[in-house]
Amino acid sequence: MPVTEQKNRLDPSELDTPEIDRLLFVLSRKRNAMLIDPEGNEKTEIPPALYRHLVQVVRMMKERRAVLMIPEDEAFTTQAAANFLGMSRQTFVNLIESGKIPYFTVGAHRRVLYKDLVEFQKRRDAERRKGLNSLAKRVTEAGLYFPAKEK
């Protein structure tokens, strides 16, 4: 198995398809898996919450998707945070300076926690959904919505 340079990234190329298929088969049995020491003497059940995550990771690997594990308290630079949210660095800086996203400084540099980025992303998505639903309602009420005719 190749050694990854990034310790928190699991690339699908690190596992062979037969290995992933076998893991999915074992994990799909609707019961928790056990860890067994090399001698087979000690068995430890994987807790349900961890088991659910393990199943999700293996499914993503089956789909040939890389998995990245980020601690909630991981600090991002303003550029990395802007990239994560899909915006320019200046737009991101404006958001943190307006107080919409908390930040802290390390020397002269601003940093933002991953969990705060995710929270902002959820709020932003909810506001967008609310706005789109409102717009759709107004268009429908105004009689301007004409559904496509089925063929």
- pLDDT tens column, 90-148: 999 999 999 999 999 999 999 999 999 999 999 999 999 999 999 999 998 888 887 77
User: Helix, strand, coil shares of the chain as percentages rounded to 5?
Assistant: 50, 15, 35
- Domain count within the chain: 2
56 and 95 both lie in a single domain? no
Q: Domain ends where: 68, 87, 115?
A: 68
What residues make up the domain containing 19? 9-68
92 and 129 both lie in a single domain? yes
64 and 79 both lie in a single domain? no
Q: Domain ends where: 17, 47, 68?
A: 68
> Which CATH number belongs to the domain containing residue 82 in this structure?
1.10.1660
88 and 32 both lie in a single domain? no
104 and 137 both lie in a single domain? yes
Give pTM, 2 decimals: 0.69
What was the pLDDT predicted at 6? Answer: 55
What would the mean pLDDT of 47-74 be, rounded to a whole number? 90
Q: In this structure, is residue 2 part of a structural domain?
A: no
28-31 CB contacts, 8 Å cutoff, 24+ apart: 28/55
40 and 89 both lie in a single domain? no
125 and 94 both lie in a single domain? yes
Q: Which residues contact 13 (CB under 8 A, 6 or more apart)?
A: 2
81 and 36 both lie in a single domain? no
Asked if 29 contacts 39 with a C-beta cutoff of 8 angstroms, the reply is no
Q: Domain ends where: 45, 68, 91?
A: 68
